[in-house]
Amino acid sequence: MIRAPRLPEPEDFDSRARRPGTAWLADHPGAKRPKALWSAYTPVLEAGYRKLCGYAAMADFTGGTVDHYLSFKNHRAQAYEWSNYRFASATMNSCKRDADDAVLDPEEVQAGWFEIVLPSLQLRLTDQIPARLRDKAAYTLRRLRLDDGERVIRWRQSWYQLYTEGLLDLEGLREVAPLIAQAVEGSRPASGVARAARLQR
């Protein structure tokens, strides 16, 4: 995971989603699923997140989904609140389901909390995660299968292979899979002035 942007609410969201959605909830008190009035804003979230899934931190060119960070099952009143939406791949959204705030919020994650290990492409926690959040971070990896889940590893492999085969340069890798790009940069031998500076530290 990397920090996801906190996007401003679209000007027409209240009139097109929040108010009609709130009215729909009042008319359907027993509904198990809300009317998907947020779907029209998926492209807005996708663009704001630069197509990066808020949990997997990789580009999803399938269009992705709107994740309700606080699920409809447990927080009906949040169904039509813009602040509750995150851009996520369908795979991550399916894994998360109604875990709600038992998993880390992509908007609260800080740089350096997670790292990719090469060549396995597994994701692990770093010591930069605050102690109070380490258990929550570990649960997030397990719940979303972000550490070594087969599907997410294959997803990472697809981007990493493009890079290793020369079909994607490092800057391009940084755009579609920033944590993999950081791992690649970290695995490169230091050279020149930069190497000398590090040796003197």
> What percentage of the chain reaches a pLDDT higher than 70?
94
The pLDDT assigned to 191 comes to 44
Residue 59, phi then psi, degrees to nearest 5: -65, 135
For residue 6, is it within any domain?
A: no
Which tens digits make up the pLDDT trace of 140-180? 999 999 999 999 999 999 999 999 999 999 999 999 999 99
Instruction: Report the number of distinct structural domains present in the chain.
Output: 1
Q: pLDDT per residue over 79-135, tens digit each?
A: 999 999 999 999 999 999 999 999 999 999 999 999 999 999 999 999 999 999 999
What are 27-76's pLDDT values in tens digits? 999 899 999 999 999 999 999 999 999 999 999 998 899 999 999 999 99
* Residue 109 belongs to some domain of the structure: yes
Structure confidence at residue 187 (pLDDT): 84
Number of Cβ within 10 Å of residue 177's Cβ equals 27
Nearest one of 36, 37, 34, 35 to 16, comparing CA atoms: 37
Burial of 62 (0-12, 13-18, 19+ CB in 10 A): exposed
Domain assignment present for 31: yes
Does pLDDT of 195 surpass 50? no
pLDDT category of residue 189 using cuts at 50, 70 and 90: low
Domain that holds residue 51: 13-187
Nearest partner of 103 among 137, 150, 66, 147, judged by Cα: 137
pLDDT at 63: 84
201 in a structural domain = no
Higher pLDDT, 188 or 115: 115
Residue 4 belongs to a domain: no
